[in-house]
Structure 1
């Protein structure tokens, strides 16, 4: 079970927490000129993870599905700092996500290996008496499945529409990274993802922690200042990505959680805007330069 939280939008890796406490080593994404990443620069992942709207919205959708699984929920809530220090947890997960996609493969392998080694120690028992282990293959595959679904569907819904072939390709391209995370049964197509959803659905359940998570995401300053006025509608945009059965199960299919039409259009406009704006110094831009590509390589207009 890979602990998952919502990656922060692309930016230089945070080097220190408030008060000067160092929390993460800084990665120079432009270093080692020519060094390939785990994903090629023309991959779906390179396009998806450059966009802060896809990151924030897709991450929330993924985590909601993960927290519906009792073993995942217990592992995250009992062994993660997310409930008490969500911003630092978001920074750490964003760091691992960007390293996995954009850093030289040798760096990514080292970081991911460290994550799986740390998760080997995460074990416990759910309140219902079910044992869990963070590196349980079933849970690792479920987390990888929700991650692939959340980010890709958020990007396609709110940033740039992906074709069915591109969606299938995004799952296939993720296999090297998924294998490093020990998720050897992760989906390789949309059909695989749908099958995993169907298989896991009977094991999911509503829980008060899902509501706590949403409240945290509404109130944590996890977005750049220009996007913070839209944080509430972006949370609702994430809920709108969930399958209808999940919204019903989690009691998220109406009221305060319903995404209104004008909000959907606003989120789409924001997603489209960040498809065209390279942010200097961020992993997508620096990684492009490392591979001899223009800084705006990922931000050129593409056909859907």
Structure 2
């Protein structure tokens, strides 16, 4: 899941020396290297996105989730890897292509509300939920982040968010909480949320012997959705037990120490003259 699908391959080793949108010592580089928390955070973000009616219609009516969930997830993952680890020029070019694609996405919700994918209000919610999902998953299941580290991660995410057109995306924890309070009354339950979760449970994302782990990570994603939204969506019983929570945290902590040398985080590290394993060392040993 850390590797781009066919047609989106990119050599993160080049151009040699070109920086990414964020430096290698950033919170973004630290968080996005972990495949366990990235998967959990990504699923949690989609749950929150699907709770918003206009975003739900845009995602469900104009994406390939139902036809090919694995490819859709790999394409989304490739965009995330490029945004964080890609050379700045290539990352900006990719984001511009995504924005142009989104210009064609528009329609009407089942209740008759018109929507456009590039509506700043919707973009702000999508970017905010992604930031929340990835940060919360890493903090909950890998390494507990301090308030300062959370603030830094949110602030870093706002840089790419503006390039996508989400000019009002939260730049601090307080702004995220304000957006959540503002958007909360518009959120609603939908059978599509349960359809999405069923797809995530059943899609062949990992080898068959590991499907139980896949389902556990989907439950972990539900577990980090804000409690009041879980209740509203009817997911209050779908989270993790204390034992399951410890198992997911163990998986997250192990994956945070195992370099995948062919994956974007290690390749990008080499591009900017860092050891490919430096991100996987304890924080005090990275310098």
Kindly report which structure 2 residues correspond to 1:45-60, keeping only aligned pairs within 5 A, or say none.
Answer: 45-60=28-43
1:284 is aligned, of 260, 265, 268, to 265
CA contact (8 A) 1:90 1:222 kept: no
Equivalence for 2:241: 260
Kindly report which structure 2 residues correspond to 1:135-284, keeping only aligned pairs within 5 A, or say none.
Answer: 135-223=118-206, 227-254=210-237, 257-284=238-265
Equivalence for 2:76: 93
Deviation at 1:224, TM superposition (A): 6.5
Calculate the aligned-residue CA RMSD, in Å: 1.2
Unaligned runs of 5+ in 1: 1-7, 16-23
Structure 1 residues 107, 227: CA separation in 2 closer, same or farther (over 3 Å shift)? farther
Structure 2 residue matching 1:174: 3-state secondary structure: helix
Rounded Cα–Cα distance in structure 2 between residues aligned with 1:154 and 1:49: 11
Kindly report which structure 2 residues correspond to 1:9-158, keeping only aligned pairs within 5 A, or say none.
Answer: 10-11=2-3, 13-15=4-6, 24-158=7-141
Deviation at 1:173, TM superposition (A): 1.0
CA contact (8 A) 1:99 1:108 kept: yes
Aligned residue pairs total 284
Structure 1 residue matching 2:197: 3-state secondary structure: helix
What is the TM-score normalised by the length of structure 2?
0.96
Rounded Cα–Cα distance in structure 2 between residues aligned with 1:190 and 1:225: 39
Equivalence for 1:4: none
Unaligned runs of 5+ in 2: none
Structure 1 residue matching 2:283: 3-state secondary structure: coil
Which digits, 9 at most, give the CA deviation of each residue in 1:180-215, with x for residues without a partner?
A: 100000001111111110000000000000000000
Higher normalized helix content (fraction of residues): 2
Deviation at 1:223, TM superposition (A): 3.9
CA contact (8 A) 2:16 2:271 kept: yes
Rounded Cα–Cα distance in structure 2 between residues aligned with 1:112 and 1:193: 23
